[in-house]
Chain A
Amino acid sequence: MKKLDSRGRGGRALAAAVLLLLPLLAACAALTFGRYSLSVGELARALFGAESDPQARKVLLTIRLPRVVLALLVGGGLSVAGTAFQSLFANPLATPDTLGVASGASLGAAVGLLLGFGLAAVQLLALAGGILAVALTWLASAGPQRRSIVTIVLAGLIMSSLFSALISLVKYVADPESQLPAITYWLMGSLSSANWGSLALGAPFILGGTAVLLALRWRLNILPLSDDEAKATGTNLRALRAVVILASTMITASCVSMCGQVGWVGLLIPHICRMLFGSNNQRLAPASVCAGAAFLVIVDTLARTLTAAEIPISILTAIIGAPVFLALLRRTGGWSL
């Protein structure tokens, strides 16, 4: 099958328009669904009109809207971070978590829950844990020789498993009646605790990191080249790598600190976009942001509306993502970086 971008300029413009509208449409639709369901007219009135049902307005502004905004941010952020890491490591299996950021953030949150901290403190601890894990990975990868990508990945693997072990330790000592379920549920990931307060704290990291990665999107193409080739493009390779790692870490740590580990998005969305739009990060990175944002809004809406009890989001991303991914894989004949 031909890729979309080979359909010429018109096809490309159309694809761009669809991609930009997709998250907005998904968000609007998501706002109307839920146990307190709203029609499109009610939605518009509640958002912009003066005379609206105060009940609807309250549901919308304090519960549904922050949750949809969180889904947009996390979906877009994790996808672009995954795209960047796959280029950085020249490896299609890289995820935003390759350097251990999610394990670190989870450990931070688990410790916060164990100590009975409030939500804001747990979020801060998670953010710090994620950044700490990547910092340790970075330090551990420094040997007598210059850092190579392989040693960085290995160090990330080691940090991930170390932090996972520590999470198990925290779970082991946690009170099985109250703390353990809280920690376990948190680790499964959920967007249900979304509120404006946590967004105010977490969103700047995601937006900032995403902006940096989008600004560097042409240079992301240089990262998979061999070191000599990359340097010979006149790029300061060490600085570029450090900035990409820092930006991605900020995004992922902040995502995990707000809604726990949301698996699959950072792996799946970049690949789907690569199959559809080609490997040039100039188009791929923005496409990943849009597709990821739309995807997570849709999945989260399903998670809270399919059944009476909420389904943990990571379960759904995998159940929905895997078949979509496989279908695309069969139709496009696969991907490479």
Chain B
Amino acid sequence: MVAVKFEVKNGCFSYEKGGRQVLSGVSFALEPGELTAVLGPNGAGKTTFLRCMTGLLPWRSGESLLDGEPLRSFRPAQLWRRLAYVPQARGAASALKVEEMVLLGRSSRFSALSQPSKEDAGKAGEAIERLHLEGLRGRPCSQLSGGELQMVLIARALAAEPEMLVLDEPESNLDFKNQLIILETLTELAEKGMTCVFNTHYPAHALQRAHRSLLLARDGSWRFGESAGVITEESIASAFGVKAVIGEIETPHNIYKDILPVSVLTMELDAPEEPTGEETEMETRIAIIGIIVEDREAAERINELLHEFGQYVVGRMGMPYPKKNVSIISVIMDGPEDVISSLSGRLGMLRGVSIKTTYSKR
């Protein structure tokens, strides 16, 4: 898969000319093969951001760049075979069969006057198999459940063989299990090199799954960066007006981050005037991350990550344990707490990896 470079530079949007800016000067760059979450309260412009970002809605000012070229300079068919958009599955009434719906995703690959070829049908079939939807092939979309339909829409996007997926609230309105299926699918796609951006109502999902997050507030301010750095109790208080506790849930295998909303902050919180995107100074801590690697492929990703956070790594020890075919790694860190928790978060997202982080008291 070709590594796609996607950037938004100084994107501004308001519904009326000169009206209230829903998005003001948003800039971000996506890394290939990363999962990026866009968060914010209702009305902060999450969907608007995705629509502007993909060119479905024009920016008032600023621009989106794909491989350094403005999106506007692409012909639609060219753009939409590299970039795929997955709308929210709101009980679409189409009676098209699942295989036909997925095949629609191939439309950017042939001219308007021609019909899908055998090859197109083959690619649509591959997308269906990739998401394990074979059982749904012949079912009309109107009879699918919300979770099934959302998966079909993702398959439709994949059928175009894009380099990048943009999803509008893919896991909203779904039950527990289906949310997990969608998030797992996105994680898996990102691991295989697909650049994914998704809107979400759940900060916890961003914290658990996304490498980076963009947090939009109603007043037009925004923050972008490593999920653990962006999603903090303070930023949630100022963006959502909710007092929340970020905690960790331990299981025998892993530590999971979670966010518990505690109470609504009744007084109107003015957004603290901190420079956007910049990390606040934090006390440094010593921590030891214990890792058990059961999947060889993950070992490589772990090395990459440790390299990325190299400046905070004080020491590391690795030990293969051939008897059980696993490796055991322990990493000692000295750095700001949120950096360490960001690393442990990202390690925890890898498949076949169990981790636990122990922090020093101070």
Interchain CB contact under 8 A, A222 and B80: no
Interchain CB contact under 8 A, B93 and A336: yes
B77 partner residues in chain A, CB cutoff 8 A: 234-235
Interchain CB contact under 8 A, A222 and B104: yes
B142 partner residues in chain A, CB cutoff 8 A: 336
Could you tell me how many residues of chain A have their Cβ less than 8 Å away from some Cβ of chain B? 29
B113 on the A face (CB < 8 A): yes
Q: How far is the CA of A257 from the CA of B266 in the complex (A)?
A: 68
Interchain CB contact under 8 A, A278 and B97: yes
A337 partner residues in chain B, CB cutoff 8 A: 93-95
Interchain CB contact under 8 A, A225 and B76: no
Q: How far is the CA of A228 from the CA of B76 in the complex (A)?
A: 12
A215 partner residues in chain B, CB cutoff 8 A: 113
A218 on the B face (CB < 8 A): yes
Stretch at the interface among B81-89, B232-240, B314-322: B81-89
Min C-beta distance of A12 to chain B, whole Å: 13
* A interface footprint on B33-71 (CB within 8 Å = 1, 0 otherwise): 000000000000000000100101000000000000000
Q: How far is the CA of A164 from the CA of B109 in the complex (A)?
A: 45
Given the contacts A216-B112, A219-B112, A234-B107, A226 and B87 also touching, CB distance less than 8 Å: yes
Q: How far is the CA of A99 from the CA of B65 in the complex (A)?
A: 40
Q: How far is the CA of A337 from the CA of B96 in the complex (A)?
A: 8
B115 on the A face (CB < 8 A): yes
Interchain CB contact under 8 A, A235 and B100: no
Interchain CB contact under 8 A, A231 and B112: no
Interchain CB contact under 8 A, A221 and B85: no
B14 on the A face (CB < 8 A): no
B254 on the A face (CB < 8 A): no
Q: How far is the CA of A324 from the CA of B109 in the complex (A)?
A: 40
Min C-beta distance of A210 to chain B, whole Å: 14
A233 partner residues in chain B, CB cutoff 8 A: 80, 104-105, 107-108
Min C-beta distance of A123 to chain B, whole Å: 30
A280 partner residues in chain B, CB cutoff 8 A: 96-97, 100
Chain B residue nearest in CB terms to A335? B95
Interchain CB contact under 8 A, B95 and A336: yes
A310 on the B face (CB < 8 A): no
A236 on the B face (CB < 8 A): yes
A184 partner residues in chain B, CB cutoff 8 A: none
Could you tell me how many residues of chain B have their Cβ less than 8 Å away from some Cβ of chain A? 33
Interchain CB contact under 8 A, B107 and A279: no
Interchain CB contact under 8 A, A231 and B56: yes
B81 partner residues in chain A, CB cutoff 8 A: 234
Q: How far is the CA of A174 from the CA of B115 in the complex (A)?
A: 51
B94 partner residues in chain A, CB cutoff 8 A: 224-225, 279, 336-337
Min C-beta distance of A216 to chain B, whole Å: 6
Interchain CB contact under 8 A, B113 and A231: no
A232 partner residues in chain B, CB cutoff 8 A: 54, 56, 80, 84-85, 87
A234 partner residues in chain B, CB cutoff 8 A: 76-81, 107-109, 160
Interchain CB contact under 8 A, B104 and A228: no
B261 on the A face (CB < 8 A): no
A175 on the B face (CB < 8 A): no
Interchain CB contact under 8 A, B56 and A236: no
* A interface footprint on B212-256 (CB within 8 Å = 1, 0 otherwise): 000000000000000000000000000000000000000000000
B138 on the A face (CB < 8 A): yes
Interchain CB contact under 8 A, B104 and A221: yes
Q: How far is the CA of A218 from the CA of B107 in the complex (A)?
A: 9
Chain B residue nearest in CB terms to A243? B112
Contact of B113 among A216, A224, A236, A336 (CB under 8 A): A216
Q: How far is the CA of A335 from the CA of B93 in the complex (A)?
A: 11
A217 on the B face (CB < 8 A): yes
Chain A residue nearest in CB terms to B112? A219
Interchain CB contact under 8 A, B107 and A222: yes
Q: How far is the CA of A24 from the CA of B81 in the complex (A)?
A: 43
B56 partner residues in chain A, CB cutoff 8 A: 228, 231-232
Given the contacts A218-B115, A336-B142, A229 and B107 also touching, CB distance less than 8 Å: no
Chain A residue nearest in CB terms to B108? A234
A192 on the B face (CB < 8 A): no
B116 on the A face (CB < 8 A): yes
A151 on the B face (CB < 8 A): no
Chain A residue nearest in CB terms to B80? A234
A6 on the B face (CB < 8 A): yes
Task: Kindly list 14 other residue pairs between chains A and B, CB separation below 8 angstroms, not including A225-B94, A234-B76, A235-B108.
Answer: A6-B138, A216-B113, A218-B107, A221-B96, A228-B56, A228-B85, A233-B80, A233-B105, A235-B77, A235-B112, A280-B96, A280-B97, A336-B94, A337-B95
A to B CB contacts below 8 Å, 14 in the list: A217-B115, A218-B107, A218-B114, A221-B100, A224-B94, A225-B104, A228-B85, A231-B76, A232-B87, A234-B77, A234-B108, A274-B95, A335-B95, A337-B94
- Residues of B at under 8 Å CB distance from A? 51, 54, 56, 76-81, 84-85, 87, 92-97, 100, 104-105, 107-109, 112-116, 138, 140, 142, 160
Q: Which 7 residue pairs of A and B lie closest in terms of their CB atoms, listed nearest first?
A: A234-B108, A234-B80, A232-B85, A234-B77, A233-B107, A279-B95, A336-B95
